[in-house]
Amino acid sequence: MTVGADGRRSTLAFALGLARHPARPRRWAVGAYVEGLAGMRPRGEMHIRPGHYLGLSPLPGGITNVCLVTADRARLADPSGALDDVLRRDPQLRDRATAVRRISPVTALGPLAVDVSGTGLPGLVLAGDAAGFVDPMTGDGLRLALHGAWLAAGAVLAELETPGVEAWRRLAAARRQAFARKLRVNRLLRGMVARPTVVRVGAIGVRLVRACCAVSLASPGDEAFARRWSTS
Protein backbone atom coordinates (compact mmCIF):
# COMPACT_ATOMS: atom_id res chain seq x y z
CA MET A 1 0.00 0.00 0.00
CA THR A 2 1.19 3.51 -0.76
CA VAL A 3 0.11 6.42 1.44
CA GLY A 4 0.25 9.75 -0.38
CA ALA A 5 0.83 12.40 2.31
CA ASP A 6 2.67 14.90 0.14
CA GLY A 7 0.56 17.93 0.90
CA ARG A 8 -1.78 20.35 -0.86
CA ARG A 9 0.12 20.20 -4.17
CA SER A 10 0.37 16.39 -3.99
CA THR A 11 2.39 15.20 -6.99
CA LEU A 12 0.62 11.84 -6.74
CA ALA A 13 -2.94 13.19 -6.55
CA PHE A 14 -2.42 15.74 -9.37
CA ALA A 15 -0.61 13.25 -11.64
CA LEU A 16 -3.35 10.65 -11.18
CA GLY A 17 -6.11 13.15 -11.92
CA LEU A 18 -7.49 12.94 -8.37
CA ALA A 19 -6.81 16.63 -7.60
CA ARG A 20 -7.01 19.90 -9.51
CA HIS A 21 -7.13 23.63 -8.91
CA PRO A 22 -10.74 24.78 -9.45
CA ALA A 23 -11.44 27.84 -11.59
CA ARG A 24 -12.90 29.49 -8.48
CA PRO A 25 -12.03 30.56 -5.88
CA ARG A 26 -8.56 31.78 -6.95
CA ARG A 27 -6.74 33.07 -3.90
CA TRP A 28 -3.08 33.51 -2.98
CA ALA A 29 -1.40 33.65 0.43
CA VAL A 30 1.41 35.95 1.55
CA GLY A 31 2.93 35.32 4.97
CA ALA A 32 5.77 36.32 7.27
CA TYR A 33 6.79 36.46 10.92
CA VAL A 34 6.83 39.84 12.63
CA GLU A 35 7.64 41.36 16.02
CA GLY A 36 6.02 44.34 17.68
CA LEU A 37 2.36 43.83 16.75
CA ALA A 38 0.59 45.31 19.76
CA GLY A 39 -2.46 43.86 21.47
CA MET A 40 -1.93 40.21 20.56
CA ARG A 41 -3.57 37.78 22.97
CA PRO A 42 -3.13 33.99 23.28
CA ARG A 43 -5.88 33.41 20.69
CA GLY A 44 -5.34 33.87 16.96
CA GLU A 45 -7.25 36.54 15.04
CA MET A 46 -8.95 36.46 11.64
CA HIS A 47 -9.72 39.84 10.06
CA ILE A 48 -12.09 39.43 7.12
CA ARG A 49 -12.32 42.36 4.73
CA PRO A 50 -13.86 42.86 1.28
CA GLY A 51 -11.34 41.27 -1.14
CA HIS A 52 -8.95 39.77 1.38
CA TYR A 53 -8.51 38.37 4.84
CA LEU A 54 -5.65 38.49 7.31
CA GLY A 55 -4.82 35.81 9.88
CA LEU A 56 -2.70 36.69 12.92
CA SER A 57 -1.27 33.83 14.98
CA PRO A 58 0.56 34.59 18.24
CA LEU A 59 3.80 32.70 18.88
CA PRO A 60 6.09 32.65 21.93
CA GLY A 61 8.47 35.58 22.42
CA GLY A 62 6.15 38.27 21.09
CA ILE A 63 6.33 36.93 17.54
CA THR A 64 3.25 36.92 15.30
CA ASN A 65 2.68 34.95 12.12
CA VAL A 66 0.89 37.26 9.69
CA CYS A 67 -0.87 35.69 6.72
CA LEU A 68 -2.69 37.70 4.05
CA VAL A 69 -4.99 35.81 1.66
CA THR A 70 -6.11 37.77 -1.37
CA ALA A 71 -7.92 37.23 -4.65
CA ASP A 72 -5.84 40.00 -6.24
CA ARG A 73 -2.91 38.26 -7.90
CA ALA A 74 -1.30 41.58 -8.80
CA ARG A 75 -0.41 41.99 -5.11
CA LEU A 76 2.06 39.11 -5.46
CA ALA A 77 4.32 41.34 -7.56
CA ASP A 78 5.42 42.91 -4.26
CA PRO A 79 4.52 40.46 -1.46
CA SER A 80 6.25 42.31 1.39
CA GLY A 81 4.72 45.61 0.21
CA ALA A 82 1.29 43.92 0.22
CA LEU A 83 1.71 42.78 3.84
CA ASP A 84 3.01 46.18 5.03
CA ASP A 85 0.23 47.94 3.16
CA VAL A 86 -2.56 45.85 4.71
CA LEU A 87 -1.17 46.26 8.23
CA ARG A 88 -0.60 50.00 7.80
CA ARG A 89 -3.98 50.79 6.25
CA ASP A 90 -6.40 48.49 8.05
CA PRO A 91 -8.55 50.69 10.35
CA GLN A 92 -8.64 47.99 13.08
CA LEU A 93 -4.92 47.21 12.92
CA ARG A 94 -2.97 50.31 11.92
CA ASP A 95 -2.64 51.65 15.48
CA ARG A 96 -1.42 48.25 16.67
CA ALA A 97 1.05 47.91 13.79
CA THR A 98 3.08 51.12 14.21
CA ALA A 99 6.09 49.26 15.71
CA VAL A 100 5.90 46.13 13.54
CA ARG A 101 9.23 44.75 12.32
CA ARG A 102 9.43 41.81 9.92
CA ILE A 103 11.85 39.10 11.13
CA SER A 104 11.55 36.53 8.31
CA PRO A 105 11.46 36.48 4.54
CA VAL A 106 7.98 36.80 3.01
CA THR A 107 6.50 33.62 1.55
CA ALA A 108 3.91 33.70 -1.24
CA LEU A 109 1.97 30.71 -2.53
CA GLY A 110 -1.13 29.80 -4.48
CA PRO A 111 -3.57 29.35 -5.99
CA LEU A 112 -4.78 27.93 -2.70
CA ALA A 113 -7.95 25.99 -3.48
CA VAL A 114 -7.61 22.35 -4.45
CA ASP A 115 -10.56 20.11 -5.30
CA VAL A 116 -9.94 16.42 -4.70
CA SER A 117 -12.28 14.01 -6.46
CA GLY A 118 -11.07 10.76 -4.88
CA THR A 119 -9.27 9.52 -1.80
CA GLY A 120 -7.03 7.07 -3.65
CA LEU A 121 -6.95 4.15 -6.04
CA PRO A 122 -6.32 0.42 -5.63
CA GLY A 123 -3.07 0.26 -3.62
CA LEU A 124 -3.06 3.97 -2.78
CA VAL A 125 -4.70 6.14 -0.13
CA LEU A 126 -4.30 9.89 0.29
CA ALA A 127 -3.76 11.45 3.72
CA GLY A 128 -3.57 14.99 5.08
CA ASP A 129 -3.92 17.89 2.64
CA ALA A 130 -3.30 15.51 -0.28
CA ALA A 131 -6.80 14.15 0.36
CA GLY A 132 -8.39 17.61 0.37
CA PHE A 133 -7.39 21.14 1.30
CA VAL A 134 -9.73 23.50 3.10
CA ASP A 135 -9.42 27.26 2.90
CA PRO A 136 -7.06 28.39 5.71
CA MET A 137 -9.64 31.00 6.77
CA THR A 138 -11.17 28.59 9.26
CA GLY A 139 -7.78 27.68 10.78
CA ASP A 140 -8.59 23.98 11.04
CA GLY A 141 -6.33 22.53 8.30
CA LEU A 142 -3.94 20.80 10.68
CA ARG A 143 -6.76 19.19 12.64
CA LEU A 144 -8.39 17.90 9.43
CA ALA A 145 -5.03 16.71 8.06
CA LEU A 146 -4.28 14.73 11.23
CA HIS A 147 -7.80 13.32 11.50
CA GLY A 148 -7.65 12.38 7.77
CA ALA A 149 -4.29 10.64 8.31
CA TRP A 150 -5.79 8.69 11.22
CA LEU A 151 -8.75 7.60 9.02
CA ALA A 152 -6.33 6.62 6.20
CA ALA A 153 -4.27 4.47 8.61
CA GLY A 154 -7.46 2.75 9.80
CA ALA A 155 -8.55 2.05 6.21
CA VAL A 156 -5.15 0.56 5.29
CA LEU A 157 -5.07 -1.66 8.39
CA ALA A 158 -8.63 -2.83 7.69
CA GLU A 159 -7.74 -3.85 4.12
CA LEU A 160 -4.58 -5.65 5.23
CA GLU A 161 -6.42 -7.48 8.02
CA THR A 162 -9.64 -8.29 6.14
CA PRO A 163 -9.15 -7.95 2.38
CA GLY A 164 -12.32 -7.45 0.36
CA VAL A 165 -13.10 -3.76 0.41
CA GLU A 166 -10.19 -1.67 -0.90
CA ALA A 167 -8.71 0.83 1.54
CA TRP A 168 -9.47 3.88 -0.62
CA ARG A 169 -13.17 2.95 -0.71
CA ARG A 170 -13.26 2.50 3.07
CA LEU A 171 -11.44 5.81 3.42
CA ALA A 172 -13.90 7.60 1.13
CA ALA A 173 -16.81 6.40 3.29
CA ALA A 174 -15.01 7.28 6.54
CA ARG A 175 -14.11 10.78 5.33
CA ARG A 176 -17.68 11.39 4.14
CA GLN A 177 -19.01 10.47 7.56
CA ALA A 178 -16.39 12.48 9.47
CA PHE A 179 -16.10 15.61 7.32
CA ALA A 180 -19.06 16.06 4.94
CA ARG A 181 -21.04 18.45 7.13
CA LYS A 182 -18.02 20.43 8.22
CA LEU A 183 -16.69 20.83 4.67
CA ARG A 184 -20.10 22.12 3.54
CA VAL A 185 -19.93 24.84 6.21
CA ASN A 186 -16.32 25.67 5.24
CA ARG A 187 -17.27 25.95 1.56
CA LEU A 188 -20.19 28.20 2.44
CA LEU A 189 -17.89 30.51 4.46
CA ARG A 190 -15.29 30.45 1.68
CA GLY A 191 -17.98 31.54 -0.80
CA MET A 192 -19.24 34.28 1.54
CA VAL A 193 -15.87 35.95 2.07
CA ALA A 194 -15.37 36.06 -1.69
CA ARG A 195 -18.31 38.49 -1.95
CA PRO A 196 -17.48 42.03 -0.74
CA THR A 197 -21.16 42.90 -0.22
CA VAL A 198 -21.70 39.84 1.98
CA VAL A 199 -18.62 40.79 4.03
CA ARG A 200 -19.94 44.33 4.54
CA VAL A 201 -23.42 43.12 5.54
CA GLY A 202 -21.81 40.42 7.72
CA ALA A 203 -19.77 43.05 9.55
CA ILE A 204 -22.97 44.90 10.47
CA GLY A 205 -24.53 41.58 11.53
CA VAL A 206 -21.59 40.80 13.81
CA ARG A 207 -22.02 44.11 15.59
CA LEU A 208 -25.74 43.50 16.06
CA VAL A 209 -25.81 39.84 17.06
CA ARG A 210 -22.45 38.79 18.44
CA ALA A 211 -23.91 35.74 20.19
CA CYS A 212 -25.17 34.21 16.91
CA CYS A 213 -21.77 34.72 15.34
CA ALA A 214 -20.04 32.95 18.22
CA VAL A 215 -22.34 29.95 17.68
CA SER A 216 -21.83 29.91 13.90
CA LEU A 217 -18.03 30.06 14.32
CA ALA A 218 -17.99 27.14 16.76
CA SER A 219 -18.43 24.62 13.92
CA PRO A 220 -15.57 25.63 11.61
CA GLY A 221 -13.49 26.28 14.74
CA ASP A 222 -13.99 22.64 15.82
CA GLU A 223 -14.99 23.58 19.36
CA ALA A 224 -17.14 20.48 19.92
CA PHE A 225 -14.37 18.24 18.57
CA ALA A 226 -11.74 19.86 20.81
CA ARG A 227 -13.97 19.49 23.87
CA ARG A 228 -14.66 15.80 23.11
CA TRP A 229 -10.95 15.03 22.72
CA SER A 230 -9.80 16.99 25.73
CA THR A 231 -12.16 15.04 27.99
CA SER A 232 -11.53 11.58 26.47
Q: Which residues sit at the interface with ligand FAD, rule CB under 6 A?
A: 5-8, 11, 29, 31, 55, 57, 67, 128-129, 136, 139-143, 145
CA distance 190 to 167: 30
> 7 or 202: whose CB is closer to ligand FAD?
7
CA distance 228 to 209: 27
> 25 or 141: whose CB is closer to ligand FAD?
141
> 98 or 104: whose CB is closer to ligand FAD?
104
In the complex, least distance from residue 184 CB atom to ligand FAD, rounded to whole angstroms: 18
CB nearest ligand FAD: which residue? 128
CA distance 117 to 187: 15
In 3D, which of 180, 182, 191 has the Cα closest to residue 223? 182
In the complex, least distance from residue 28 CB atom to ligand FAD, rounded to whole angstroms: 9
Strand-pairing partners, residue 11, are none
Contacts of 126 (CB under 8 A, 6+ apart): 3, 4, 5, 10, 12, 13, 18, 116, 118, 119, 120, 152, 168, 171
> 51 or 165: whose CB is closer to ligand FAD?
51
